[in-house]
Amino acid sequence: MVVATTVTGKAIRHATRPTWAEVSLSALRQNFRVVQEHVGSDVTVCSVVKADAYGHGAIECSLALEEEGGKWFGVTSLDEAIPLRDAGLGGRILLMTGFWRGEEEEIVGLGLTPTVWEPWQIKALDKAAAKLGVSKHPVHLKADTGMGRLGVHLKDLPDACALLASSPHLQVEGFSTHLASSEVLDAPSSEAQLKQFQEARRILDRAGLKPTFIHAANTSANISRRESWNTMVRLGLALYGYYLPFQRAGREVSGGAWRLGVKPVLTWKTRILSVRDAGAHEALGYGGTYVTQSPARIAVLPVGYADGLNRALSAGGRVIVRDHYAPIVGRISMDLTLVDVTGILGVDVGDEVILLGSSDGLMVSAREHAELANTIPYEILCAISKRVPRRPQ
C-alpha cells in the first residue's frame, strides 16, 4: 500500500498530513466474487493490478485477491511485477505490454508470463530460457485486430506462429487482443475486431498452436459482449467498483443488462485545516474567479491538484461534510481547496471531509469527478498521488 514516509536521522516517520485514502479490501474481494460469478467457473479472471492497482495499492490488493482465489494478475511491466514477487505473490503475472531488451532473463527467472508480438521478443526469450535451463517458458501472443497499438498484424501472424513453433524453450500458453470500443454497444469496430480475432485463432490452429488462455475482454466487454469472453477475461476497473457508461446511437444506455454489482473500493478523505468567514462580493482563490454573492463560511482543505484532485473540479465539484454536500469554490490549487460550508451546522477545524466516497446516502464517485473533468474514472483513480497514504481496511 502506498504510504508517504520521511526518513529522519533516527527513524522513518509516517505522514501526518490529514489527507488519506481508505481501501476496502473486503469490497475488493466481493467485487472479485461478483465478476467471477458473472463469467462462470469455466472462465479465468485475470485481475489487472497495473498502475499500482489503479491507485489502490498493488501489493495489498494483489495479495487479497490471491487469497480470494485469484490466479492471474495483469501488470504493465517488469518494474510492476518485481514488487509483487518480492511481497510473496505466488500467482501468475502477465506482462501485458511486453518487455524491454535485456529484461528477458529476469522475466524467465521470476516466472513471469510476457506478452509477445515482435520477432526479437520471441528470439530473446527463447535464448534466455535455454540459458536458464527452462524447457517451456509460457508466453502470450498478442494480435492487433484493429486497436492499432500493440500486437502482430494478421498478415504477419503466420510468420510469428512459425517462429514460436520453432522456439523449443517457449510455449504459447495464451493468445490475446484488445477491443477499442467495447463500451459502445453499436460500434461496428468491435464486431470487426472479434471476427478478425476468430480468423487469427484459425491461423494459430493451422500452425499447430493451441493456447489454453484466449482473451479479448476487458471490463466493458465483460459486461456488454458475452461472445468476447473466451477462456479468460482481463478485469481491471470493475474490481475497483467502476465501469464506463455504455452508449448506443451516441447516447448513454442504462438498465439491468448493462450493470454489474460492484462497489467502489476506495474512499478519499481529508480534514478541515481552517474555517474562515467571507463577506459578500469577496473574491476567493487564484485569479479571484469565484466571488461570494453573500456572506459565506469557507472551509480550507489540505488537498489539491498535487494530491490528484483534478483542477477541473474547481467548477462544479463537491465534497461531503457532516453528511451534507459542500461545493468547491474558487480554483483548486496545488495543496489547498476551498469549499463553501455555509449553513452546515457545527463545522470546525479537524472535521472529516469525503472527497470520494459515500456517507448517509450521499455519494461523490470517481465517475462524477470524471464527468466534471471530461475524462474517465480510470484517470481519476490513477491520478491520486503518492503523497496520499493508502490505508487498507
CA–CA distance, 345 with 101 (Å, rounded to integer): 61
Specify the DSSP element, H or E, that contains 235. strand 232-235
Alpha helices in the chain (DSSP H): 25-39, 50-55, 58-67, 78-86, 104-109, 119-131, 157-165, 188-206, 219-224, 366-373, 377-382
Rounded to 10 degrees, the C-alpha dihedral 142/231/367/307 comes to -60
- 81: its cell numbers: 511485477
Tell me if residue 50 is catalytic: yes
- Is 261 within 8 Å of 87 (Cβ atoms)? no
Please, are residues 121 and 140 in contact by the beta-carbon 8 Å criterion? no
Interstrand relation of 290-291 and 324-329 (parallel, antiparallel or unpaired): unpaired
Q: Cβ contacts of residue 129 below 8 Å, gap of 6+?
A: 108, 135, 136, 137, 169, 170
Nearest of 69, 58, 57 to residue 29 by alpha carbon: 69
DSSP 333-386: -SS-EEEE-TT-TT--TT-EEEEEEEETTEEE-HHHHHHHHTS-HHHHHHTS-T
Active-site hit among 50, 54, 142, 269: 50
* Dihedral sign (CA 248, 249, 250, 255): negative
C-alpha pair distances (Å), 108 with each of 78, 114, 213, 344, 352: 11, 9, 19, 59, 48
Q: Return d(Cα 24, Cα 42) in angstroms, integer.
A: 28
Concerning whether 136 is annotated as a catalytic residue, the answer is no
- On whether the CB atoms of residues 236 and 48 are closer than 8 A, the answer is yes
Q: How far apart are CA 110 and CA 58, in angstroms?
A: 18
Catalytic residue among 131, 136, 195, 286: 286
> Residue holding cell 471530461?
374
Active site residues: 50, 286
